[in-house]
Amino acid sequence: MADPRVKKLASILVHHSLGVKKGDNVLIGSSSELAKPLVLEVYREVLLAGGHPHTSIAFEETANIFYSAATKDQLANFPKVRMFEARKIDCFVNIRATANKKALSNIDPKALSARSKVLRPISEEIVNNKRWILCNYPTNGLAQEADMSIEEYEDFLYGATNIDWNKVKREEMKLKKLLDRASEVRIVGTDTDLKLSIKGRKAIPCYGERNMPDGEVFLSPVEDSAEGYIYYEMPAIYQGREVLGIRLRFRGGKVVEARAEKNEEFLITMLDTDKGARFLGELGVGVNYGIQKCSKDILFDEKIGGTVHLAVGRSYEEAGGKNISAIHWDMIKDLRTGGALYLDGKMIQKNGKFLF
C-alpha cells in the first residue's frame, strides 16, 4: 500500500502545481527507478484529471557512462527526439530520486559545461513555454547528503511539501508588492555588501507551481547593475560538485573576482562557460521558515527563511531577465546572523526576520 504522504504529494503536483486538464499530455520524468512509488501515483492522478501520462525513467548510471565514454561528436550531438518531445508536451513533472549525488564528481567539468550548451535549447523550451514542476523523492542518497536517516528525510521532505500552498501565496504577495515598487536591493552580511538594481523588473512569488517544496520570491536583476562583494556560507553544489566558501566580487554586473575554499577550479570553469555565466540571472528571497536546516540540496536550501540566493547565468524571461547562458547556478547567502536586506535604503529584513 502506498504511503499516504506520497498520494497527497502526487495530488498536489498534478492539481495544484500543474493544474492538469482534460487532454493535456503530461511527461513524468525521473532521474532513476527509485522514484517508482511517486511516478505511479502521479500517473494515476493525471489519468483521473483526464490527461495523457507519458513516462521517461532513467538509470542514474547512464550519465556517468555517457561522460566517461562519449566522443567529442557524441558530446556535441543534439538530441532531436528530446526536443520533439519537449515541444509536444503540455506539462512536465521532473522527479529527482538520486542514489548518489557524487556520481559525476570525477567527470571533466569542461565536458559537463559543453553538454549543457548543447542541451540548453531543450531546457529553455520547457522552462519558458511549458508548465513544469520539480520535486524530490526520498532516497538514501539524498538522506545521507542531508545527514539524516531515511525516516528523518521523509519527514523533512513531506513536512515541506504537503502544506497549504494557498496560505503561502498570500504571505508572499506582501513581499512581491515591496519588490515591485523598489529600484535597488542591498544585501549586507558576513563579508558581504552587494547592491543590485531591480528597477522595472517583476517579482515572481513561488508557492508550489514550479518547485516542490517552494517558498521564495524571485526576480532577475538588471544585468549590468551588480556592484560589491558577497560571501556564501552554505555549500554551492552544481553538476554533483560541492564548492565551499565562495567569494565573488562584481563590477558593472560582472563577476570580476572569484575565489573558493574548495573546488575553486571548478567554480572558475563554470563561470567561463559562456559570456552570460559571469552575470546574475536571479535574486531570490527565501521565505519558507519551515525549512531551517541546510540539506545540501538547492531545491530545499534556497527556500530557507532568512536567506537569499543569487544565481549566476541564465535569467528568467517571465521576471524580465535578459541574460543568456547555458548555466544557472544558485548560491545561498545566510542572513540570519548579522545580515540585513534593504530596499531603496530602507531595511526590510534583519537577522533573517522581516520587519513588515
What cell was used for 187? 544585501
Q: What would the mean pLDDT of 108-123 be, rounded to a whole number?
A: 89
- Give me the residues paired with residue 91 across strands: 26, 131
3-state secondary structure (DSSP) of residue 267:
helix
Cβ atoms of 4 and 79 within 8 Å: the answer is no
3-state secondary structure (DSSP) of residue 35:
helix
- In the chain, what are the domains? 4-161 (3.40.1830.10), 165-354 (no CATH)
What's the pLDDT score for residue 44?
97
Percentage of residues in the chain having pLDDT higher than 70: 100
For 171-205, the pLDDT digits (tens) are 899 999 999 999 999 999 999 999 999 999 999 99
For 244-293, the pLDDT digits (tens) are 999 999 999 999 999 999 999 999 999 999 999 999 999 999 999 888 88
What's the pLDDT score for residue 240?
79
What cell was used for 11? 495530488
Q: What would the mean pLDDT of 61-86 be, rounded to a whole number?
A: 92
Asked if the model's pLDDT at residue 228 lies above 90, the reply is yes
Asked if the model's pLDDT at residue 102 lies above 70, the reply is yes
Q: CA 277 to CA 238: how far, in whole Å?
A: 13
Asked if the model's pLDDT at residue 101 lies above 80, the reply is no
The DSSP letter of residue 356 is -
What's the pLDDT score for residue 104?
79
Strands 227-232 and 192-197: antiparallel
Q: CA 43 to CA 126: how far, in whole Å?
A: 20
What's the pLDDT score for residue 1?
65
